[in-house]
Structure formats: structure tokens, C-alpha cells
A and B are shown apart, each in its own frame.
Chain A
Amino acid sequence: QENRTVSGKVLGESSGEPLIGATINVKGTTQGTTTDVEGRYKLEVPADTEILVFSYMGYISSEIAIGNRATIDISLKEDREVLEEVVVTALGVERNVKALGYQVQEIEGSKLAEAKEGNIVNSLSGKIAGVNIANGVSGFGSTSRIIIRGENSLSGDNQPLFVVDGVPIKNSTDARNNSKVDASNMNVDFGNYAADLSPDDIESVSVLKGAAAAALYGSRAGNGVVLITTKKGNNGRKGIGVEYNASFTMETPLVSPDYQDKYGQGKNFSFEFYDGNGSGVADGVDESWGPLLDGRMIKQFDSPTAGGKRGADVHNLNRAITNESLSDRGAITATPWVAQEDNLEELYQTAFTMSNTISLSSNNEFGHFRTSIGNTYNQGLFENTDLNRNSFKLSGGYNLTEKLKVNANVNYIKTESDNRPVNGYGTESIMYLLIWYGRQVNTANLRDYWQKDLEGIQQFNYNYNYHDNPFFTLHENTNGVVKNRLIGNVSMTYKFNDQISLMARAGTDYVGENRTWRRAFSTQRFKEGQFRQDLLTFQENNFDFLLNYDSDQQADFAYNLSFGGNLMTQRDDYNAASANKLVVPGVYNLGNSAIPVVNYQERKEREIQSLYGMARLAYKNVLFADITGRNDWSSTLPSANRSYFYPSVALSGIVSDMVKLPEFVSFAKIRASWAQVGNDTDPYNLLNYYSFGQPFLGNPTASEDNAVANDELKPEIATSTEFGADLRFFNGRLGIDFTYYINNSENQIIRVETPQSSGYTGRWINAGEIESKGLELVLSGTPVKTKNFRWDINLNWSRDRSKVIELAEGLKNYTIASNSVQVLAKEGGRMGDIYGTGFAKTPAGEVIYDNDGNPVVSNELRNLGNYNPDWMAGINNSLSYKNLNLSFLFDIRQGGVILSRTKLIASTSGNLEETLVGRDKESGGLQWTDGSGNVRHDGIIGKGVVNVGTDEAPNYVENTTIVAASQYYNKHFKRQHEEQGMYDASYVKLREVKLSYRLPSKLLSKTPFQSATFSLVGRNLLLWTDNPHFDPEAISFGGSRIVPGVENANMPSLRSYGFNLNIKL
């Protein structure tokens, strides 16, 4: 057989630029070539070759009949313009969007890698309709919460399933505590597990939002699926492809609390340091109601002393404050009492993240190969809180025979940090300290954080009553982690013939994690130190097979049939040991325990077996139907109920191909789907058990379950219905995608509360119904398009209302979470309703005061709003001029509320700027005479009324009683009065800005580089919101669970900016 040669040039249609590395294949074979830097190719083909396939990523492949031609020049169309988008759907099947009866949105990996987020979840923020993301609050490495189409479950975490290359991986945040330790540590956020994935390895992310899209992933996909496809070596190039991606971003606080700088530590305008323990004038208090910071001379913790020490060097060798130790220290010489305006900034350092990834890839007719090695290093906002992550990835495929293909992926990720910051309100947290931090405290003078001659055993601090020195906390009281993660799978596909193929796959996700807590001697909560080690191992294995039958796809009626099975096993081991008192200071080893080590051990196993089938039908390429059915058998349910079946149907029709539409309508599709998903429960919920506790006085102990178990639990069932339309106008220049959905979750497996007087605090039942209804709108447009300039706008908007339709019989409330406020489900209420307490009010809504001028507190729980937004929107603009591209993304949340504990508590501590109001004459303080006869100018009258009548027949008159400013703020913002700490959580964020320049291919043609792109990137650059103190995009821990709607001594959120460099060889 003769060969012939075909050559030519491949260009991008709209740009007219040559496409470099486009592939040209002989149809039906792997024989082919790629274009050079000028877009040229030359291919020798068998003489009988009829069709060549031209393809390039992001462009629509084109099949060209050769005929007699020796030269074929072609312009490929960008795929967005012709509505031939292919997305990855369930089971990793790539499908044409037009055939889908449900909505799937996809983001290209390159978009994620450019303006990089340490957490893949964050980078979806604002980009996908119906996806609600809350960034973590302890900087790089912290948890981000993702909710798709509202909260449907009363008891679960409502987060979607993450699937990488077809195999589910772990994502949830694990904040388990050694529950046997009395003096337990505060929560540390070690991050959600999907954050381990490197954005540089990701080809695309698809979000399967509804049950129909996710039906084939079964039980765990009830909250949607985030499908991640990693990069492979099959990028259509010959030879070795080398890609290098580097980025460097600096991070600075986006918003920090506004603190006052007028009054220092103390009470009643007085302060004098003696021992920082209450023996001086107000030196035990940690509030800033002290003297005016006017430079007056006052004895302070850092003032010099007659003993040649610092004022706060007050302890002796036994860490006690005695008369001897105080006389050693000697008399304190007063020093100027001045504001330390930068005492927060002094604690911050410039945070930065540096990331480098290099990959090698290759492919040929026998297979493809890609390997990458990447490193990400982050220096945190606080000293000694850095994190290092190394990632190694290998993926390859090989055609063993014409019929048998093998694919394998393995990704090893190692994450290490010596210290992750503590989250929340309590002495172990830096932000806790800052809420109370005396405004005169010179942070630099705390840097030398040991007391003289007591190094290693006694910290030096400005206050010994309640607090730990921040540098001591950061450097000595560390929370380290070493995490090893291995995600991998091997699959084989055997093609019996053009119709029938069989795929078999084994995948695993293994996490081995070692977390260590160190607490030095003299720590407030651990006076004799502590060492705790938590060892976590988790493994999930998935074994799948999938048998496919494809009919003739060219026929009028085409169909694919699949039948598959899955075996999923999980094993989770948690071993925690804690030495809560050490013998030798500074040696962190369980053997160095002065008291019996407290051990806690937990092992959990579960298994789900599944069989499923799917039929995909297409009629003349205008009508499509998908039908699926899946049956699960779960180990966690009782034998009678462990098998459950659920079906789905999805329909779509291409209206524009069926009827004649006006010219300006280039495409119109309508779609509808209906699906059910069943769900099981956690392991071991069927029987009551006794758990072993910590020994007391040498006696072993156990405790009974506090909830009455139920051995007749049934699977949960969620039913969802979705309608949508996809319309394109003006030759694709304007697109509108619209979706409406209703999702009903019934028979939820919940632990409902029972009153403690019944003996138990809860019982397990099937009950409740949550209904989520929502609208999603995606608008995409290209307002301007010329040869060199192009402007694209993408807008997504969504609204979700998840309502509690029904709880269990006789149950009025179900506590979803408590975290200062209570997140309660009430029949007729919305998911995410927050309840808390506040002041008593008149029917007209005025605050009622008592005769002493203090607000009357009502302990009745009231609805304080809902933490979910009313609607969310993302607006992305992309402007391209030749090789220059500017894009910026605004992320908008409208509605919703958030409780700020910082606001409440830092108001009582007198630290917030607004607590100056009324504190002195010039700030509007009223003149009054206190009980001791002193005339003062710090009076405030609370706005409201006093009841001068009776309870039955109230008579409200205006409150006229003056109280001291400190009392006013103490009474008004007491932490239990949650109503006083609520803010509107609406915000607009300039989420992402990218300015990138791709070097012209002509410039590069003489170099080994194929492409080089340099970008300036910024994330979270600007924030517009109601409150001045914190970022309302916040989550916090309620127990070991992540709860939105509460800012609880959160770290400042970070603004990041820097550059990204991408080079391909």
C-alpha cells in the first residue's frame, strides 16, 4: 500500500493565530502528528485514508475528507461558539452538553491554576451558580465549606462528594477530639481533605448539582458531586511536553477589627501593674477601661525594676508568685502610658504562598504519560505557622493490545506543618487574646517570652490571670501535622467490538495523619505542659466494573446501555493519646507523662455494595433521555432495610432543531429530570453501647450512650425534580441557561433530642422532610469581538430556599448545631435559621430597661435571622486584547446574617473603637455622680423604656438612668446577648483579578518554548460589607463540626496578590 503526504496549516478561526500543538489524526487510528509553532503540519498517511481529524483543546474537532488534496488548511472553531461543549459527567463519561437533561457546570483547570487558591474548593467561589462556598478562617490550609443547592440534610454535613478520575475521595474536615480528656484542646482546623489536590494537576472540575446528575454515585452523592479530572499526557503533542508553573502571592489581612487607641488596660480609669495577677491596681483584669493613654507614668509589665528585671518577672522557680519572688524582681519604675496602635500588626507577619510545579508528558499511538512534581509553601499570618505541601503525580495509559487499554493514576501528597493556628474563642487562640489585649501593651516587649532565669518553665506576660503570651503560644504551644495522602487507581478497558466494552477499576484513597499538640509549662490551661498525639488513618477502596453497549450512533435512534457495580469499603482509625501533665519541661513524648496517659481509640468500618444500570437514548440527535437505576446494600442499616433502590430519568430536547425559530436564536434546548437518591447512616447507630472513659481515682469507667438507639432505621430518600432551558442567541454571542429545582429529603436519619429528664438526650429515628427550591441563572455573553479584542461576560445568579416541611411528630425543634447561637430546624422554618437571646422588648420593639438603667434580658430564644444568603451572584469579565487578558470576578452574597463574637466580647472588653462613645466628655459622655460621690463624665443612657407600671398593666416611660460607659457596654454586649452581635452578612467581593500576557508565538519560535504566560493575580482584593471588623464570609467550629453564621474570634481573612508564570516547552 502506498503512502501519501498531506500538509497544511491549522489556525484558530476567531484569532487567526496559528494553533500550536494541534493534533491531526487519521480517523479511527492513533496515527497522527501535531502542528509546529507556526501551526504547520505534515503527515504521511496510507493512500486509502479518507478522513483526517483535526483537534485542539478548547476548539471543536473537525473531520475533513481528504479527497485528492495534498494541502489542507483549516480554521478550527472555538467550542464555546458552536455549542458542542463536552463535559465530564457521572462515572467520568464525557458527554456533549446538549444531550444532558440536567445542569452541569465545568471549569477548566487552567483557570484554577492561574490565580491559585491553596484550597481547590475556594477557587470555585463565585464561578458556579448554586454553589455556596465559605472560606476557612485560619488562612492557608484551613477548611472551606461547599454547599450545592442548599442544605438538604438535618444531620449530615451537606457537602458534596468529591470524585477524582472516577474514584471518590475524602473531603470532610476531621476535628475529632480525644473525648476522654477533661481539659481538652480547642479546635484546630487541619483543613478539608480535598484541599490536598494541587490545582496545577487539574484538567477540569465539573459540578454535578442535582440528584439526576449524581444518581449514579449513589448514597453519598445526595448533596451533589464535584468531579475532578486530572491532567493526562494525551494533550495531542508529539515528543516530550514540559510544563512549568510558578506562582508567588503575598497575603495581608483584608479586614481586622477596629480597635480604640485612647484608653489602656484597667477598670474605672485606673491601672497599676504589680504582679499581673490582681494584686496591683486592676492588674488582674484584662479589659481596656483603664487610664487615658496620655503618656502619664504608670508601672507596667515591661517597666524596668530595681531588681534589674521587667515588671512582669514575678514568678519563682516553682512558678509561684511569692513575696520572695516579688522582692527579687524589685520595685517597678513607672514608664509612659501610651497607645500601641500597631500592637496587632506587630504580631502579624507578611504571609506568602509560593508554588512550583513541573510536569513532563508524552503520548504516542500506544499510550500517554504524565508526571508532575509540585511544591507549595505557605508562610502564615502569624509567626511559626507555615505549611509545606509536596505533591507527586503520575498518570499513564497504555494500549496493551488494540482492544485492551490500561490506565493508572497515582498521586502522593505530603503535607507538613509545625503549627496550625487554633480556631475560636479560648486561651489557646491568638485571636482570643487580641479581643482582650490591653491597648497599651507593647507587643514587641512580649517577644522575649520567658521570664528571666525561668526559661522553659514560666512564660512572661502582661497578664497572668487569664492569658498566654502570644509569642509563647505561637512558638511553644504548637499544633503540628504530618499528613501522607495517596490517591490512586488502575483501570482496564476491554473493547470486545465497536459496541461492547468492559471497564474494571480499583481505586484507593489513603490518608495517614499524625497530629501533635504541644503545650509548654505555665500555659494557662496546662500548667505543667501537655503532649497529645492523634493518629488518624483512613482508607476507602472502590472496586468498579462497567459494561457498556453502544448502538450505531449514526442511526436515528441511538442508545447506550451500561451496567455496573461498585464495592466500597471504608476503614477509619483514630488513636489519640494525651499526656496532660509532663515531668520534664520541653520534652514532648508520651513517656514523659506525670500522670496516666489518656488514650482514646476508635475504629469505624463500613461497606456499600451497589449495582446500577443506565440507558442513554437519543432520537435523531434532538431528543435525549437518560434512565438510571441503582440498588445499594449498606452495612450500616439493619438487615431488613439495608437494600434500597432508586431511579432517575432525565429528558432533553433541542427545540431549535425541531421547530423553526427566529434567526437570532442560534440554539434552544429544554430539559427536565426526576431522580431519587437513597442514603444510609453512620456505622454503629443501631445498638446502644457503653463507651470506655478515663479512669477516676484508679477505677476504670464507662458511660452509656446518651441517645436511644434504633435497630429499625430505614434509608433516607431524597427526591429531586429539575427543569431547565439553555438558550443561545446571535450565533452564540449571548447565552442564557436557566434551571429550577425542587428537592425533597425525607425519612432523614436523625438523632432527635429528648429532654434529659427522660434519662436520655436523644433518640435515633427516621423523620423529617426538608424541601429545597431554587433558581439558577447563567448568562454568558460576548459584547465585543473584533479581530484583536474580545470582551466576555459571565454572570451566574442563584437563589435557594431550603425549608423544613416536617420534623418528627411532637418535635418542635431540632438542633442542627449549637455554636453560641443555636441553629434550629422548626417546622415551616428555613434551614440555617439562627436562634439566640437578647433583650426584653415592648410590643413596639423598644428595649426595656430596669430601674438601674440596665437592659432587661429575656432568655427566650428568638429567631435572629438565617445564615444562608437570599441570593448569590458571580460576575466575571474577561477582556482580551491580542495576547493580553484581563479578567476580574465579583462575588456577591445578598442577605443572611452572621453573629460576631468578636463584636460582642471586644465591646465588653472596651477594645473596639465604638466603645469610646460616651467614655469621656469629648466623646459625648454625660456627667453623673457615682455611688461613691465622684463626679464623672462617662455616663450613658441606654435607649429604651422603663416599665413604671406592673407586669400585667405595663406603663413604659423613657429610660433616663445614667450608667457608666463600661457598664453600658458590658450589659449591652454581654456574650450571651447574641442579638446584639448580629450583622448583615451581605457582601460584595472583588474575588479575583488576573492580568495575563501570553508571549506571541512568533517571539517564541526561535526558542525552545512553546508558550509562556505571565500573569499578575489577586484574590479577595476588596470587600464591601456592613461591618467594619471582620469578613462575613466566615465559618467556625461548633464542637467538631463546621458551622457557618458565626464569627468566633476568627483570624482576619486574607487578601492575596502576586504573580503566576506558566511555561511550556
Chain B
Amino acid sequence: CTDDFDEMNQDPNRATEIQNAPYLLLTPMQKRAVTKILDEAWSGGNLNAQYAAKIVFTDYDLYNWGSNSGIWNDLYKSAREAQTLETIAPEGYKVISKIMKVWSFQQLTDLYGDIPYSEALKAKSEANYAPKYDSQQSIYTELVKELKEANQLLKQTYAPVQGDVINDSDFGKWRKLSNALLLRVYMRMSEVNPSAAEAGIKEIVGNASEYPLLASNADNSVLKYGTTGPDAAPHTKESGSREGSFDEYRMSETLEGVLRDLDDPRMARWFRPTAKSLQDGTPEFSGMKNGMADGVAYSYKGGSLNLSRFAPLFFDEPNTVQGIMMTYSEQEFILAEAAQRGWVSGGETHYNNAVTASFDYWKVTIPADYLQRDKVKWDNSLERVMKQKWLSNMLNGFEGFSDYRRTGFPTEITPGPDAVYDYVPFRYEYPQKEQSLNEANYNAAVSTQGADQVTTKIWWIK
């Protein structure tokens, strides 16, 4: 009399198949990956690239990074979800998933170096519970291949998808994103494989029919958050963040210095005058030095009341901050850099487009003379392009950090007085779980890439 046991042991709460509704997986897959990077941009990327500095709990700012499992876990998980969609969903979902996967894997390899790629995500399909690590170089080759395939696939028309919270089923935008990401991938190789980077970028630029690109901020691929509760951007009040935790992050003195030097009005958009200056009725901005020891940090400049907080938009407004996959401004900076390197033409135009787009993105009116100022004007130098790109990349994931690791610009970034290293480290350590659960492959990766330390260089850093 156990005939009904099979039925009884069928979970009534959950579904075994969702073929008829793949959007159930598309939305959380996109949200997970993009939100995680935004989340970590606030607490990690912004410190690495010295947009922000911490006044208490400064360990991270001292480069005690250790292993980072959050990004690893969330991005591998969303990559798995993308892979599932590639198996079960209609074509439109598949191509979006392909691009999301490339974006996620690039984030992962840029932060960790060699990572599981070719054998990754195969626990269920092939019972592979211990994927081998691939070299970053070979992963980059695959990312290029995947993006080129996506670009080809997107020539077709697809039935609309539901639940696409990035581009709302606009396949034209997905194609532009795919190509802009291809530019990002190529440019990352500028120091280790300049010829491939040059050839790749050249193939894209000036071939708008084959490789359509972003034309304005309207083409940005971003996750726009909602106004309430679970829809709100991370670290905002609406998302449940505590004000005290939010206020631990202050304007970095490095960023302050550059913005002041350029008399850049983005400072007032991003930061608040200090509490003390507001109490005294004489509002003024003041930055915090990165990399100071706990305690000392708290008394820097007489304490937190003399240090600029981030602007209310980052905390009080639930949906002003966006989860960035790629912006027009970043793409134009890549093209400006390519021009500066002599690979393509039109450097000044791309540069001006990029700077203007950044002001526009942050809803700051660009001063009429800004692009002509001595310290801003296009001068065909890498330093100038990279400094403006750095400003533009505030809270854009780890892009500012990656560009610094690749080019060494802006040179204003220097480790703080109490930092553990006298240079900015290069990578995150692998999660502890990789060490314990994927030991043989982990050890193999360490033996080829170098010690699993934040100071070990990854392939594309020269």
C-alpha cells in the first residue's frame, strides 16, 4: 500500500519544469549578476579605485582583501542560470543569456585571474564537480568568440522575451551591448596582446552595419531599480541599509583632489558638504584619505564631521543609482583610447562624447568651457583619457580599478599611509570553498598563475 508514495513525494510547492515561463529565471539571473557587481562596486570597487575612502572598519581600505566569495558565488550562480536558459528557453532568451554569461565571466576573470570556464557549470549535466581552471588568456579568446557569435545571432529577429530587466527585449540594444563588450574585452588586452586588441577593435570600428555600437546614453545597458523595498538599489535606505553603514564611506581625498583640480561640478552631485561646514553655514567639501588604520582614520581632519558624505541620492533615493553593464560613455572612452593608441581615428570626438555623456548620465550640466579647459582638453595623451574615464567610471563596477591595473592611470591613486602594500594589489584571492572543494584544480591554477594572493598579477596586467 505504498502506491501513492511517488505522488506524495512530489513537491507541491515547487515546479519541476518552467519551459512555458523561462522569464521566471531571466529576471533573477540578470538581477543577481548586475546587482552584485553594483553592490561590490560600492564597498570594493569604489575603494580600490579611490573614489571613496573609509573612516571606520578600514581593513579593506588597507588592502586586507583576503578571499572574496560573494562575487564568485553570485556570478557563477547567475552564469549557471544563464546556462539553464540556454538549454530550456526559446532563442531570444538564449542569446541574451549568452551575453550575460560573457559579461559575468569577464567580471570574474578580471578580478581573480585564471578561473574555471571550459569545465565550469557542469555539475548536473556532466557530473563534473571539480572543474579545472582555464588560463585568463584562453578565457579571453573564448569571450571574443562568444561575443562574435552573439553579434551574428542577433542579426536574426526573435520573438520578444519577457522579464528582461536590462534591455526590455530590445534585441538591437543587446547587439550594441554585445559589440561594446567586445571593445571592452579587446581593450583589456592592450598591454599583453596589443596586436590582437588593435585588430579586433579595428574590425569593429567603422563597420557600423556589421558591428552596431551604442549611440547615446539611451543605449546604455543598465538595470534601473524600482522605488520600493526589494526593487530598490543596494545600499539605499529603501533597501534596508543602515545609515551608519552607509556613512562609513566618504569622498576619497584622491577623487577630491582631481575634481578640485578640474573644478568639476560632479563633486557636488556625488558628495555632500561636511557636517561641520553645514552647521557653521559655510558649506564646503572635504575628502578622506584612503588606507588609514582604524582609529587614526576616525580622527583624520578632526573626525567624520569634517569629511564629505556621499550625496543623498545614493541613500535616500531608491532608484537613482543604476546597475551598469555598459554605458555609452565607457564605450566612447575605449574608442578615444584606441585612437590615442593610433588604432582608429576620431579620438577627440570620442573623448568629448565620452565626457559629455558622463555629465549627462549623472544629470550634471557640463560647464560650457569644460571640454576646453587646459586640464581637460583632448591632448591625445593616455593619461588624460584615462583620468576622465576614471571619473566617468565612478560606481561602474570594477572598471576604474581594472583600468588602473592595466594602465596605471590615474597616477593620483596611491596606497594610504597604513596600507599593507605600497602598491594597489591586483586581484582577489579565490574563495576558501574552492580551496577545500576543488583542491587539485585550485592547486594547479596556483602553480601556473602564482600564489593565491592579492599581490599576484593576472595575465592582462603588464
Q: A-side interface residues toward B, CB under 8 Å?
A: 182-183, 267-268, 270, 274, 277-282, 284-286, 289, 323, 427, 463-466, 524-527, 580-581, 594-595, 598, 601-603, 605-607, 609, 633-636, 639, 642-643, 683-684, 686-704, 706, 708, 753-761, 763, 810, 812-813, 850, 852, 854, 857, 859, 861, 930-932, 964, 966-967, 970-971, 974
Whole-angstrom distance between the Cβ of B345 and the nearest chain A Cβ = 41
By a CB distance below 8 angstroms, the chain B residues around A698 are 226
Q: B-side interface residues toward A, CB under 8 Å?
A: 1-2, 5-6, 8-18, 21, 23-25, 27-28, 31, 56, 59, 64, 66-67, 72-73, 76-77, 79-81, 83-84, 115-116, 120-124, 128-131, 162-163, 165, 225-226, 228-231, 237, 239-240, 242-245, 247, 275-276, 278-279, 293-296, 298-299, 303-305, 309, 417-418, 420, 429, 431-434, 436-439
Are the CB atoms of A691 and B296 closer together than 8 Å? no
By a CB distance below 8 angstroms, the chain B residues around A700 are 21, 23-24, 27, 163
By a CB distance below 8 angstroms, the chain A residues around B437 are 753-755, 812-813
A690 CB contact (under 8 Å) in B2, B15, B79: B15
By a CB distance below 8 angstroms, the chain A residues around B27 are 696-697, 699-701
Are the CB atoms of B13 and A278 closer together than 8 Å? no
By a CB distance below 8 angstroms, the chain B residues around A694 are 230
With both beta carbons as reference points, the residue of chain A lying nearest to B8 in the complex is identified as A635
Are the CB atoms of B436 and A812 closer together than 8 Å? yes
Complex Cα–Cα for A688 and B18 (A): 12
Are the CB atoms of B23 and A699 closer together than 8 Å? yes
With both beta carbons as reference points, the residue of chain A lying nearest to B115 in the complex is identified as A757
By a CB distance below 8 angstroms, the chain B residues around A633 are 2, 5
With both beta carbons as reference points, the residue of chain A lying nearest to B298 in the complex is identified as A267
Are the CB atoms of A636 and B9 closer together than 8 Å? yes
Complex Cα–Cα for A595 and B240 (A): 14
By a CB distance below 8 angstroms, the chain A residues around B231 are 696-697
Are the CB atoms of A278 and B296 closer together than 8 Å? no
Would A756 and B431 be within 8 Å (CB), given that A284-B247, A812-B439, A930-B296 are in contact? yes
Are the CB atoms of B298 and A268 closer together than 8 Å? yes
Are the CB atoms of A524 and B242 closer together than 8 Å? yes
Are the CB atoms of B80 and A755 closer together than 8 Å? no
Are the CB atoms of A601 and B237 closer together than 8 Å? no
Are the CB atoms of B1 and A756 closer together than 8 Å? no
Complex Cα–Cα for A524 and B437 (A): 38
Complex Cα–Cα for A694 and B296 (A): 43
By a CB distance below 8 angstroms, the chain B residues around A810 are 129-130
By a CB distance below 8 angstroms, the chain A residues around B79 are 759
By a CB distance below 8 angstroms, the chain A residues around B303 are 267, 270, 281-282
Complex Cα–Cα for A810 and B12 (A): 34
Q: List 17 A-B contacts (CB under 8 A).
A: A267-B303, A274-B305, A284-B244, A284-B304, A464-B243, A465-B244, A524-B242, A594-B228, A635-B2, A687-B10, A697-B226, A702-B28, A755-B433, A758-B121, A758-B130, A759-B80, A850-B420
Complex Cα–Cα for A260 and B298 (A): 22
Q: What 8 pairs between A and B have smallest CB-CB spacing?
A: A465-B244, A279-B275, A183-B240, A689-B14, A759-B121, A702-B24, A758-B123, A684-B11
Are the CB atoms of A278 and B11 closer together than 8 Å? no
Are the CB atoms of A966 and B295 closer together than 8 Å? yes
Whole-angstrom distance between the Cβ of B60 and the nearest chain A Cβ = 12
By a CB distance below 8 angstroms, the chain A residues around B18 are 690, 702
Complex Cα–Cα for A297 and B72 (A): 51
Are the CB atoms of B229 and A580 closer together than 8 Å? yes
Are the CB atoms of A527 and B24 closer together than 8 Å? no
A607 CB contact (under 8 Å) in B5, B28, B245: B5
Complex Cα–Cα for A780 and B279 (A): 76
With both beta carbons as reference points, the residue of chain A lying nearest to B163 in the complex is identified as A699
Would A690 and B16 be within 8 Å (CB), given that A699-B162, A759-B80 are in contact? yes
Complex Cα–Cα for A852 and B17 (A): 57
Residue of A285, A427, A754, A850 with most partner-chain B CB within 10 A: A754
By a CB distance below 8 angstroms, the chain A residues around B15 are 689-690, 692, 702
By a CB distance below 8 angstroms, the chain A residues around B31 are 696, 701
By a CB distance below 8 angstroms, the chain B residues around A763 are 123, 129
By a CB distance below 8 angstroms, the chain A residues around B276 are 279
Complex Cα–Cα for A164 and B84 (A): 49
Residue of B1, B11, B12, B121 with most partner-chain A CB within 10 A: B11
Are the CB atoms of A970 and B240 closer together than 8 Å? no
Whole-angstrom distance between the Cβ of B58 and the nearest chain A Cβ = 10
By a CB distance below 8 angstroms, the chain B residues around A524 are 242
A603 CB contact (under 8 Å) in B12, B24, B122, B275: B12
By a CB distance below 8 angstroms, the chain B residues around A688 are 16, 124
Complex Cα–Cα for A859 and B453 (A): 11
With both beta carbons as reference points, the residue of chain B lying nearest to A593 in the complex is identified as B229
By a CB distance below 8 angstroms, the chain A residues around B129 are 754-755, 758, 763, 810
Are the CB atoms of B242 and A465 closer together than 8 Å? yes
B295 CB contact (under 8 Å) in A182, A289, A607, A812: A289
Whole-angstrom distance between the Cβ of A636 and the nearest chain B Cβ = 6
Complex Cα–Cα for A699 and B224 (A): 13
Would A759 and B83 be within 8 Å (CB), given that A580-B229, A702-B15 are in contact? yes
Complex Cα–Cα for A1050 and B396 (A): 41
Whole-angstrom distance between the Cβ of A965 and the nearest chain B Cβ = 9
Complex Cα–Cα for A282 and B25 (A): 46
Complex Cα–Cα for A945 and B81 (A): 49
Complex Cα–Cα for A544 and B84 (A): 47
Are the CB atoms of B130 and A755 closer together than 8 Å? yes
B131 CB contact (under 8 Å) in A464, A603, A702, A757: A757
Are the CB atoms of B28 and A701 closer together than 8 Å? yes
A964 CB contact (under 8 Å) in B77, B295, B431: B295
By a CB distance below 8 angstroms, the chain A residues around B296 are 930-931, 964, 967
Residue of B6, B293, B309 with most partner-chain A CB within 10 A: B293
By a CB distance below 8 angstroms, the chain A residues around B76 are 756-757, 759
Whole-angstrom distance between the Cβ of B306 and the nearest chain A Cβ = 10
With both beta carbons as reference points, the residue of chain A lying nearest to B434 in the complex is identified as A755
Q: A697-B226, A759-B79 are in contact. List 4 more A-B contacts (CB 8 A).
A: A639-B5, A687-B10, A701-B31, A760-B80
Whole-angstrom distance between the Cβ of A833 and the nearest chain B Cβ = 14
Complex Cα–Cα for A977 and B255 (A): 33
By a CB distance below 8 angstroms, the chain A residues around B81 are 703-704
Residue of B13, B229, B247 with most partner-chain A CB within 10 A: B229
Are the CB atoms of A278 and B230 closer together than 8 Å? no
By a CB distance below 8 angstroms, the chain B residues around A634 are 5
Are the CB atoms of A859 and B432 closer together than 8 Å? yes
By a CB distance below 8 angstroms, the chain A residues around B434 are 755, 757
Complex Cα–Cα for A967 and B299 (A): 13
A465 CB contact (under 8 Å) in B23, B84, B225, B247: B247
B13 CB contact (under 8 Å) in A183, A466, A602, A966: A602
Whole-angstrom distance between the Cβ of A1050 and the nearest chain B Cβ = 23
Whole-angstrom distance between the Cβ of A406 and the nearest chain B Cβ = 27
Would A683 and B279 be within 8 Å (CB), given that A594-B228, A967-B294 are in contact? no
Whole-angstrom distance between the Cβ of A87 and the nearest chain B Cβ = 35
B9 CB contact (under 8 Å) in A182, A285, A635, A966: A635
A526 CB contact (under 8 Å) in B14, B21, B240, B294: B240
Complex Cα–Cα for A697 and B230 (A): 8
Complex Cα–Cα for A852 and B418 (A): 8
Whole-angstrom distance between the Cβ of B92 and the nearest chain A Cβ = 15
With both beta carbons as reference points, the residue of chain A lying nearest to B28 in the complex is identified as A701
By a CB distance below 8 angstroms, the chain B residues around A602 are 13
With both beta carbons as reference points, the residue of chain B lying nearest to A635 in the complex is identified as B5
Whole-angstrom distance between the Cβ of A758 and the nearest chain B Cβ = 4
Whole-angstrom distance between the Cβ of B43 and the nearest chain A Cβ = 16
With both beta carbons as reference points, the residue of chain A lying nearest to B419 in the complex is identified as A852
Are the CB atoms of A639 and B304 closer together than 8 Å? no
Are the CB atoms of A967 and B14 closer together than 8 Å? no
B244 CB contact (under 8 Å) in A466, A605, A699, A701: A466
Would A525 and B295 be within 8 Å (CB), given that A606-B8, A639-B6 are in contact? no
Complex Cα–Cα for A527 and B239 (A): 10
By a CB distance below 8 angstroms, the chain B residues around A759 are 76, 79-80, 83, 120-124
